[in-house]
A and B are shown apart, each in its own frame.
Chain A
Amino acid sequence: MSDPDPTRDPLIAQHEEAAIDSGRAARAANLFDLRRMIGGIFLIYGVILVILGIGADDAEIDKAAGWNLNLYTGLAMLVVAAFFLVWAFMRPLAEELGVEEPPEGDRTVHGAHAPTGPDAAALGGSETTRRRRRGDRRRSRE
């Protein structure tokens, strides 16, 4: 998608130019990490539910057909929180998006270190890196 305006439509072209000029890929790297947000809120909710579950009385357990629902749900939420937080900290967003500039012409090496697994596409790859380089060059000329 290197051509900024494949449709040659004047209304679209203007905004595509604005986006490229402002170096959008560099900004993408800055986008706050949703994985930490989800992990964080599940951690807090999980802790609250586990505490409530530990203090559950018989009436509450009877209500939920004999299950300590707060405790079980809280524990499950903690597992989900751990998954997101571990994922986010194992592969920080900045690293995923290639903020540490690899040497020019080093794309194959960069590719070799690219994340693998189902989430890899999710978090960057050389398309973003390429765009960002273009943005950087543009800025360095200014």
Chain B
Amino acid sequence: MKDLRLDTNVADYLILVIYFAAVLGIGFAARRYIKTSLDYFLSGRSLPAWITGLAFISANLGALEILGMAANGAQFGVATVHYYWIGAVPAMVFLGIVMMPFYYGSKVRSVPEYLRLRFNRPTHLFNAASFAFATVLIAGVNLYALALVLKLLLGWPILLGIVVAAAIVLVYITLGGLSSAIYNEVLQFFIILAALVPLALVGLHDVGGWDGLREAVRGTEGGEPLLHAWKGTGVGNVTNPLEASWIPIVFGLGFVLSFGYWTTNFAEVQRALSAKSLGAGQRTPLIGAYPKIFIPFITVIPGLVALIVIPGLGSDKPNMEYNNAIPLLMNEYLPNGMLGLALVGLIAAFMAGVAANVSAFNTVVTYDLWEPYVRSGESDQYYIRFGRLATVGGILIGIGTALIASGYDNIMDYIQLLFSFFNAPLFATFIIGMFWKRMTPWAGFWGLLAGTLGAAAAHFAHVWEIVNLGSDQAAAFWGAIAAFVADALVTVIVTLVTTPKPVEELQGLVYGMANVDEHEAASERVWYRRPWLLGSGALGLVIVLNIAFI
């Protein structure tokens, strides 16, 4: 058995303490500028696009994502790039170019709120409640995962790890609201890069560069297929490590799952809503797309390096799970100092994961549950106070979830599964609702419900082995397709038998009736800020890279 405990010294802890001080400092600094509830929940819609764009990407670059994608890199090899190049970038471009004018132009303060205006209150309540519920549980999962890593690497007891991380996030979100969450996300983004880029480079150097890495991977059990993104994905001839043909990859992952996550998940969209103008809001996901394209180089490469230099990775031996690929590499290569930096990067990424979910949670609970359904018409100050209370409540529930998760290993998987049931059908409802004026309010409700059930049905068909859908990943892709189809079918049928909303109530919400910014500043019209140009640049880059790693 390999002990994973890092040989930390005073330099590593110094780096850690400096980081915590900076995080809390940002919270106190942000606090001074909060005067209205929009400041607290949407940063007063004042942030520049480079900040919201990087926050957009780092709200997703939580440590679960980093450790998980490195694990996928070790297990599935180069095919992991599908989660980025097919499974993220096209959806981000679509959000920026097509959907942001509706979100930003209609002045909604959250994604569920769009459903309230476009459809009706039952649709809104269903989505707001399921989102709030799933989000706060995901925050708890992040907390627990952080505590696990702290235990593994530093020997901290689980409870201590949970409480310390929760307390820090609590302080900076309660004080500074979304601004402080976003500023910390951007800071975290640079720190995680500062830790992972050297780790990837030193690993690559050790195995003899890219050619050496390829040579060594060919000698492993997985062999040549680990080096290709698209080889062996032909229907009926599936030999790639993901065990998925191009159909579930393109339609399940690339279309439904990815568009559902990136265009309707409020934890992401909230970052774009906090931008200072419609143009900056549109650029938020487009600017985020560029770093996203290159993140596989710092997750997949360390995964593959770990496969080679850590004998026994992926076996049943203790601490040798694929998920530990990055911590094991840190132990292998990093001297004290860099070790502390990498540790800070991981902790920061976990806290960003918790904070992104908690800041989306408090907004939805305040604007989408408490204000419309419990106490309307209170002063703006009242809702800021309520938002702070919701933050405390959300973190306490998160701690509770984390403690339960520490008793039951599998609960983390269940929570993420639950989240995918709610998330998968959303894109169908949004896209049909935005482009088909006739779609009725009740079609919104029944479509979402049917899609959620469709995702659940596909999942249980897989686990009870009623149908063979390939690996768990491939099954998740098929589940997303099922959710989309069920949602779309029910939406169309219900629309045909119910009454649509009068067209004048749809101003700003549907295609052809978007609110445009007539006073658009001249600086917004500079060629390099045009959304379609930024978007096609990102898509072009993705195509080139897919061909290079085919």
Find B50's partner among A52, A73, A122 (CB 8 Å cutoff): A122
Contact mask B182-194 → A, CB, 8 Å, 1/0? 0100110011001
Task: Decide if A86 is an interface residue (CB 8 Å cutoff).
Answer: no
Q: Which of B104-112, B155-163, B215-223, B540-548 sits within the interface?
A: B104-112
CA distance A44 to B529 in the complex (A): 34
The secondary structure that dominates the B interface is helix
Tell whether, in the assembled complex, residue A114 and residue B523 are in contact, meaning their CB atoms are under 8 Å apart: yes
Tell whether, in the assembled complex, residue A48 and residue B14 are in contact, meaning their CB atoms are under 8 Å apart: yes
Tell whether, in the assembled complex, residue B334 and residue A64 are in contact, meaning their CB atoms are under 8 Å apart: yes
Contact mask B367-390 → A, CB, 8 Å, 1/0? 100011000110010010000000
Task: Decide if B235 is an interface residue (CB 8 Å cutoff).
Answer: no
Tell whether, in the assembled complex, residue B15 and residue A16 are in contact, meaning their CB atoms are under 8 Å apart: no
Given A6-B507, A49-B337, A65-B202, the answer on whether A119 and B109 have CB atoms closer than 8 Å is no
B44 contact set on A, CB distance < 8 A: 19, 24, 27-28
Given A34-B186, A130-B519, the answer on whether A45 and B48 have CB atoms closer than 8 Å is no
Given A37-B22, A41-B18, A125-B523, the answer on whether A24 and B11 have CB atoms closer than 8 Å is no
CA distance A5 to B515 in the complex (A): 11
Separation in Å of the A108 CB from the closest CB of chain B?
A: 9
Task: Decide if B45 is an interface residue (CB 8 Å cutoff).
Answer: yes
Q: How large is the interface on B (under 10, 10 to 19, 20 to 34, 35 or more residues)?
A: 35 or more
Task: Decide if A104 is an interface residue (CB 8 Å cutoff).
Answer: no
Task: Decide if A69 is an interface residue (CB 8 Å cutoff).
Answer: yes
CA distance A111 to B521 in the complex (A): 9
Find A72's partner among B109, B187, B198, B521 (CB 8 Å cutoff): B198
Find A60's partner among B335, B507, B523 (CB 8 Å cutoff): B335
Give the residue name and chain of the A residue nearest to B528 (CB).
Answer: A118
Which residues, 30 to 47 on A, are CB-close (under 8 Å) to B?
30-32, 34, 37-38, 40-42, 44-45
CA distance A130 to B518 in the complex (A): 13
Report the count of interface residues on A (CB-CB < 8 A). 64
CA distance A65 to B204 in the complex (A): 10
Q: Which of B32-40, B56-64, B259-267, B431-439 sits within the interface?
A: B32-40
Task: Decide if A99 is an interface residue (CB 8 Å cutoff).
Answer: no
Which residues, 478 to 496 on B, are CB-close (under 8 Å) to A?
none
CA distance A89 to B334 in the complex (A): 34
Separation in Å of the A5 CB from the closest CB of chain B?
A: 7
CA distance A48 to B341 in the complex (A): 11
CA distance A48 to B117 in the complex (A): 53
Find A37's partner among B187, B202, B283, B338 (CB 8 Å cutoff): B187
Given A19-B36, A49-B338, the answer on whether A128 and B276 have CB atoms closer than 8 Å is yes
Given A6-B107, A7-B107, A127-B276, the answer on whether A80 and B46 have CB atoms closer than 8 Å is no
B39 contact set on A, CB distance < 8 A: 19, 24, 27
The secondary structure that dominates the A interface is helix
B30 contact set on A, CB distance < 8 A: 32
A37 contact set on B, CB distance < 8 A: 22, 25-26, 183, 187
B413 contact set on A, CB distance < 8 A: none
Give the residue name and chain of the B residue nearest to A73 (CB).
Answer: B198
Tell whether, in the assembled complex, residue A73 and residue B18 are in contact, meaning their CB atoms are under 8 Å apart: no
A41 contact set on B, CB distance < 8 A: 18-19, 22, 187, 191
Which residues, 122 to 137 on A, are CB-close (under 8 Å) to B?
122-128, 130
Given A30-B33, A32-B30, the answer on whether A69 and B380 have CB atoms closer than 8 Å is no
B186 contact set on A, CB distance < 8 A: 34, 38
Find A42's partner among B190, B337, B380 (CB 8 Å cutoff): B190
Tell whether, in the assembled complex, residue A64 and residue B333 are in contact, meaning their CB atoms are under 8 Å apart: yes
Task: Decide if A100 is an interface residue (CB 8 Å cutoff).
Answer: no
Given A67-B205, A73-B194, A114-B523, the answer on whether A6 and B341 have CB atoms closer than 8 Å is no
A74 contact set on B, CB distance < 8 A: 337
Tell whether, in the assembled complex, residue B522 and residue A31 are in contact, meaning their CB atoms are under 8 Å apart: no
B127 contact set on A, CB distance < 8 A: none
Task: Decide if A15 is an interface residue (CB 8 Å cutoff).
Answer: yes
CA distance A22 to B416 in the complex (A): 40
Give the residue name and chain of the B residue nearest to A124 (CB).
Answer: B48
Tell whether, in the assembled complex, residue B338 and residue A15 are in contact, meaning their CB atoms are under 8 Å apart: no
B376 contact set on A, CB distance < 8 A: 11
Tell whether, in the assembled complex, residue B337 and residue A15 are in contact, meaning their CB atoms are under 8 Å apart: no
Q: List 11 A-B contacts (CB under 8 A).
A: A1-B277, A15-B37, A25-B46, A38-B190, A45-B194, A49-B338, A64-B334, A66-B205, A69-B338, A111-B523, A125-B523
Q: Which residues of B contact A (CB under 8 A)?
A: 11, 14-15, 18-19, 22, 25-26, 29-30, 32-33, 35-39, 44-51, 105-109, 113, 117, 179, 183, 186-187, 190-191, 194, 198, 202, 205-206, 276-280, 283, 332-338, 341, 367, 371-372, 376-377, 380, 383, 507-509, 515, 517-524, 526, 528-529
By Cβ-Cβ distance, the 3 closest A-B pairs, closest first, are A122-B48, A28-B46, A65-B206
